[in-house]
Amino acid sequence: MGTVTLGVSIPVPEPHGSRLQRRRLGFGDAAASGIPTHVTLLPPTEVAAADRPAIEDHLAAIAADAGPFPMRLHGTGTFRPLSPVVFVRVVEGVSACGRLQERVRADGGPLARELPFPYHPHVTVAHGVPEGALDAAQAELAAYEADWTVSGFALYEQGPGGAWSLRRAFAFAPCPRQRGTRTASRERPLEAA
C-alpha cells in the first residue's frame, strides 16, 4: 500500500485562518496556498498507509481525554538564523499544546517520533522567503492578536503536489471543569488583510 505523509495540527479558525494565509501569500510564501493556517502538534511524518486506521484510533482516544482550552496569539517571533521562518506567537494555550503533542508522539504509539528541535507552538506566516519579506512579516504582524477556544485538532495528509488536505477532525470531549473559558473569537490589528 505504500506510505503517506501525515501531520496533526490545531486549525486556526475563521476569520483568522484565511486572513493569516492571505498575509503569508502576500509575503511571497507560495506554498501557503496549500497549507491551512494551523498550530502544529505533529510535523510532517511519513507512515505506512495501512497504519491510518490505528493512527485515527490513537488520535480519537487523545481527543476523548482532552477538553477545550483558550488559545491566544499575539505578536511575532522568528526562528532565524536556524530556519528562515517568521511566526505569530502563541501566548496562551502553550502548555495545553505541549501536552497534546506529547500524547500524539507518545512512545509506543503509531506516531512515536523524536523532534529535531524542542516543541514550540506557533503559527507560521512566512517561510523560505527572502530576508526582506521575513523582516516585513515580522514587523507588519507585530501587533497582531487573536483568540478563541480550541475545541479539537485535525489530521492532515500531504498530497503529491505538496498541498495538505483535511483527513479527519477530532473534537474534544466537553469539559465541565473549565467553566468560564472564553468562547468568543476576536481579532485585533490586521489592517492590510
Per-residue model confidence as pLDDT tens digits over 106-149: 999 999 999 999 999 999 999 999 999 999 999 999 999 999 99
Q: Would you say residue 185 lies in a domain? A: no
pLDDT for res 181:
40
Q: Would you say residue 193 lies in a domain? A: no
Q: Would you say residue 188 lies in a domain? A: no
Q: What is the mean pLDDT of the chain?
A: 91
Q: Is 70 exceeded by the pLDDT of residue 18?
A: yes
Q: Is the dihedral of CA 87, 96, 168, 174 positive or negative?
A: negative
Q: Would you say residue 107 lies in a domain? A: yes
Burial 105-130 (b: 16+ CB within 10 A, else e): beeebbbeeeeeeeeebbbbbbbebe
- Local confidence band at 189 (pLDDT 50, 70, 90 cut-offs): very low
Residue 116 maps to which CATH number?
3.90.1140.10
Q: Would you say residue 183 lies in a domain? A: no
pLDDT for res 135:
97
Give the total number of structural domains in the chain. 1
Q: Which residue segment(s) compose the domain that 9 sits in? A: 3-172
Kindly report whether the global pTM for this prediction surpasses the value 0.75.
yes
Q: Please state the rounded mean pLDDT for residues 147-153.
A: 97
- Local confidence band at 175 (pLDDT 50, 70, 90 cut-offs): low
Q: Would you say residue 62 lies in a domain? A: yes
pLDDT for res 174:
78
How far from the centroid of its chain's Cα atoms is residue 100's Cα? Answer: 12
Q: Is 60 exceeded by the pLDDT of residue 191?
A: no
Q: Cα–Cα distance between 77 and 80 in angstroms, integer?
A: 9
